[in-house]
Amino acid sequence: MSGTRDRMIESAVTLLMERGAAGVSIDAVLARSGAPRGSVYHHFPGGRDEILLTAGRAAAAQVGKRIAAATDPRAALDRLFTFWTRLLAANDHRVVCPVVAMAVNPRADFPEAEDLVRETFAEWRRGIAAALGGDDDLASFILAALEGAIILSRAERSPRPLLVARDRVLALLPA
């Protein structure tokens, strides 16, 4: 990948986290990345929708790698909750999970985004379940607790929901 393309993707992920899918416009990505306008059509011939899908996939892959690398579920989940606690604090609690951002207010004419969200959450759930010895129900609960805590932490401008959710989730796991 080129540096310009990477900057554009990173900018789109950040915009997703800060403003939601509606806030990922070509102009906003260009302004944030510093890329020239012609870069859009060179790297993303599908325009805004292609940028949005690429950003969603990149964000999903980052979290997916963290989950897949888990050898100790307790430590991995603690790191995941801590990652979000720190990321929110570093951004004045003004970000959310980019995949959640894509899930909210989906466009009817953009089913690929809905597919990406559904597939991403299923992949993350399967990864967590695998780390937990196959407990899909617990994995679903943990994923819901994490994503809900991220949203509550943003809304409350406080790490407390993430810290509480982390402690409760870890208490459910065997020592």
Q: Give the pLDDT confidence of 123-149 residue by residue, as tens digits.
A: 999 999 999 999 999 999 999 999 999
Long-range pairs for 139-143 at CB < 8 Å and ≥24 separation? 141/169, 141/172, 142/77, 142/169
* Residue 36: φ, ψ to 5°: -75, 150
Cα torsion angle, 63, 66, 68, 72, sign = negative
Pick the range with the lowest mean pLDDT from 1-10, 35-44, 127-136, 152-161: 1-10
Mean pLDDT of 116-120: 96
Is the predicted pLDDT of residue 42 greater than 50, yes or no?
yes
| CA nearest neighbour of 84 among 75, 95, 73, 69 | 95
Radius of gyration of the chain (CA): 17
